[in-house]
Amino acid sequence: MTKELELATFAGGCFWCMVKPFDQWDGIEKVVSGYSGGHLENPTYQDVKSQTSGHYEVVQITFDPAVFSYEKLLEIYWQQIDPTDAGGQFHDRGDSYRTAIFYHTELQKELAEKSKQALAESGKFKKPIVTEILPAATFYPAEDYHQDYYKKSPEEYKEDRDKSGRDEFIQTHWK
């Protein structure tokens, strides 16, 4: 019997910080850092970072929905970001660092919209939830040195996370 795997694609600011929260669960087959949502074919990190390609930094997650649900992925996703910031995430500013949920199916769209509405109604944030819910676009994997950055460069990863303000935000709003 073969597994029926699905894709989930999330933009949550710097993709380095978005891999580890998803990478540690049974049912998650792989998490790939990359670019999506822009107009330039085969963008490089420099293209995306220069804010000229229109792409978001994203993670694309291959998962087994029989083991790990899309709803659970959404729950984890919301707890990694500031969904009220339209200008980027934490110390990473610009369009490539905006937040978005890229849906691959109508069911994912429905579940994403439902989870966004629930978050908006929760009262957890005083400002409106600005994270976009968009149709999945072409996904371009990032360069090899960006993949599994938290494993390959643990010191730099920790330093970047520490100075970003992401963990303080998560601690304040979710713990």
Q: Is residue 89 part of a domain?
A: yes
Map residue 114 onto helix, strand or coil: helix
Q: Is residue 47 part of a domain?
A: yes
The closest alpha carbon to 35, from 80, 91, 84, 102, belongs to: 102
What's 45's domain CATH number? 3.30.1060.10
The arithmetic mean of pLDDT across residues 129-149, rounded, is: 97
Q: How many domains does the chain have?
A: 1
- What kind and span of H or E run contains 172? helix 166-174
Q: Is residue 52 part of a domain?
A: yes
pTM beyond cutoff 0.85: yes
At 174, the pLDDT band (50, 70, 90 cuts) reads: confident
The arithmetic mean of pLDDT across residues 112-116, rounded, is: 98
Q: Is residue 130 part of a domain?
A: yes
pLDDT of residue 100: 98
Is the pLDDT confidence value at 104 over 70? yes
Whether 91 contacts 163, CB under 8 Å:
yes
Q: Is residue 80 part of a domain?
A: yes
* Helix boundaries (H) for the chain: 16-23, 45-49, 70-78, 106-121, 149-152, 154-164, 166-174
For 113, the domain range is: 6-174
Q: Is residue 1 part of a domain?
A: no
pLDDT of residue 155: 95
Residues labelled catalytic: 14
At 117, the pLDDT band (50, 70, 90 cuts) reads: very high
